[in-house]
Structure 1
């Protein structure tokens, strides 16, 4: 039996001028829903227009169809505004320490950092062994003369010096008035024999006088006189030598006198042989100190002229045996530490520095002349 609803829907499908023809699959679905629709097996004749179906009952909702194929992904929209910062969460519990990872490859070397501040000095190390003695350096130039020091305290009174030579004989004084005749003195020394006079007339023979007492022999008095004359001549020679020496010293204001020695310089410079010859020509010799006092006097001249001098000392004849120019071995010396060393086998002469110390030096070097009288 065909329901009224089915007939109405069928007519609606056929006669509604405003409705498009129903697809074939939808007709088949309607046929499945209502068995009565199977009666329709061909096109019907057009009938009267049906109602608009607005007053029809809404059918049941169909089942949801299967999900379609996903469409293409749309363009990413602009980022949204940043939301407000949420409250800080509580600190989570410490996780279990993981296993140690493999050592990674060494990264590139970083830029060198700034130098740090110097560390505190470490403790002093142990004293090292003494190194070998270095080669002798070149003698430096003499430094400028220092300012004179404060006067030292007065020294002790020295021992009395040796007795000086007798002074020279003074000029003869004026003849005095004749005095009263004194008592007859002892017989004087016989004077020199005069020239033989012309023979006089022979006199008359006198009376024989009394025999006198035997007198003393005059031979001893003559010998004593000769000895006194010889001593005076020796003293005169010494006085003349001393006078010549002091005349030479007076010509050199920078000289120094120690005892019976005088050390002088003219400022001339030359090698050892040249200086020795010049001192001999002047009547002296190269300065050769025999004690500390003479060495100090030579040192003062070296300081004044700011130049080292050659001494009259060498070991030219025998290496290492230093002697004075007269061949006597030296008994006093004031060597610089480490000297003499005969550097390069060419140092046979001796020089003295401003500090008073000695050093062996090549005789061909040029030094200040310093003579001893």
Structure 2
């Protein structure tokens, strides 16, 4: 028995200290002998005999500390122990970083309205708001004083015919205008009545005897020379007159045949325009064919203003005539014209399309004379 114990002690000392192993029970050498126990690295040397079979042997020397074994499996958590006493309050830690904003919670129930607060100080004046809608038109106020005459505007589209106005007072006679170009010679008037014979004059004194004249044949030749000279002068005058015509109408007039249509841009009533043309040695334009009417239309289009023609029915309502009393030989009325709307349309105007319309003579239109 003693020999076996000694053997067991030797075996445990010989076991490599570098090979950790869990506790294992070896086979029994004998039912009444000790069991060989191979232990893992002991913390305080080999354990001694349990002392059940024999006398406890001497305590062995402390062995060297073995290597740490692998970590064991976590065991089942034990029962919660009793709550320990409350520890002392620790010092306040540093402020942590701001956390992310949480989701908005459900809206709470609206609280009761509180009492009105005291009036605060007046705030700064706000910016002007947008312009409001136009209000209802107010009543017509009292007529103001007459303002200064504004600049002449462009002639607008013909408006509806107005009511016939009352005849105004006759205006003062205007200043005599500058003398115009020499007009074409008019037709010879009727022969005047023979005047009464004057009283016989006193007999004059005898004059000195003249020189002997040339024969009649020489006088005929001289007359022919004078006629030839006059014809040359007439051709030169005609050429000069043609040049003057072109200068006079550039760029405000038109030449058609022997007629020249000229405007100065002035505007006035029918009587005013008629007087201006007479003072210049001409008369209001009065077309007698389509070519002359087309020339007038070009001037109307260029100035974008209607003109009055030298045609009226003032003497006999509905019978339009030229200013010298002759009946019309050409017309270019708009459809439905003349209609003498409201009984006050005795003059004739020309639109930009060349069509005619009867109009009140008191309206103002563009001056257009013919020479």
The two structures have a TM-score, normalised by structure 2, of 0.39
The two structures have a TM-score, normalised by structure 1, of 0.39
Larger Rg, first or second structure (1 or 2): 1
